[in-house]
Amino acid sequence: MMSMPKILFLCVANSARSQMAEGLARQILGPDVEVMSAGSQPSKINPHAIDAMAEIGVDISRHRSKSTSEINPAGIDLVVTLCAEEVCPVLPGAARRLHWPIPDPVSTDPSLAPEDVRVRFRTARDQIKARIEILGSLLHLPEGPAAKEFHSSIRVRSLPDSVRFYAWLLDAWPKEWTHRYATFIRPDLKLNFVLLVSDGKELHHDTLYHLGIGVADKAAVVDAYQRAGAFGAHVEKPPRTTWKGTPLHELWLTDPDGNLIEIYARLTDAELSMKPADEAPVFLTPDDAEARA
C-alpha cells in the first residue's frame, strides 16, 4: 500500500514549475498530504506562474521560493523533480523519487509575445496538473490480489506471422498451438499470453479477449472479490467455478473503460474430480449462489 504524507517538488529556481506543482498538489491531494517545494538556486516566484494558477482558481501569490537547505530530507516520503533542460537538485535520503521533465516555461527570448509566454506557463501548469491527478489516484491505494501470473489474449490477422514475431519477442516457442490460437508461457515473467486468429468465426469475448491475473487458489479468488468490493471495482461476474474449456475458479471485473479483467485460479486434482455431470458453474459465495438458486 502506497501512503505518502510528505511530498517535495524540486526544480532549480523554485519560481515556476515547482511552485505551480505545490499549489496544484495542495488543491488536488487535499489536507491529508503535506506538500512543499524548493530549489537549488531559489529566486522569487515568477508572476506568470501566479497568473496561470489564478486562472484555474489556485492562489500561490503568498508562496516564497525556498532553498533545499531548508528541507529536512528525513521527513520526506516522495521527491518529484521537474527539471528538463537543467541539472536537477539532489536531495539525500531514502525518499521515493519521481522525475517529471517539464520544459521550463520561463524564457529569455525577447521575440516572444506576452500571450506566447502565457501559453508556455499554461502548458506547464496543465502537464503538471495531469501528472498530479494520477499521483493522487495512487496514494492510499488498498492492497490488491496477490498475483501469481499475468494473462493476456489478443486477436491477430495471421497466426503464423504473429507466432513468429512473439516467439522472437518473448524468446520462446509457444507451449501449444492449434489452427486458431497459440499459447506462450514465460514462468520467469509470470506470463501466460495467447494469440487468437481473427478468422471471422465467433469468439466468446469474455473468455477469449481480455486481461487476466492468476492467483493461488479458490480462496484467493474469493478474497479478490472481497477486495474488489471494498475498492469499488465493478464486478461483471461474481466468483464461480467453471468447467467448460479450461476449468477455473474465476472472477470477472471491468476496468473504468469497460475492459474485461479475469482473476482466476486453476483447479486442483481434487477439485477437478468434483465436476458436476451438467458442468454447470458453481458460485463460490453464499449470497451469489442463493441469488441464482
Q: Annotated active-site positions, please? A: 11, 83, 88
CA–CA separation, 177 vs 196, rounded Å? 10
Instruction: Give the end-to-end CA distance of the chain in Å, rounded to a whole number.
Output: 38
Strand partners, 264: 214, 250
Buried b (16+ CB within 10 A) or exposed e, 84-119: eeeebbebeeebeeeebebebbbeeeeeeeeeebbe
CA–CA separation, 133 vs 9, rounded Å? 15
- Non-local CB neighbours of 11 within 8 Å, separated by 6+ positions: 17, 18, 37, 39, 81, 82, 83, 86, 88, 89, 104
Name which of 200, 159, 152 is nearest 182 in CA terms.
Answer: 159
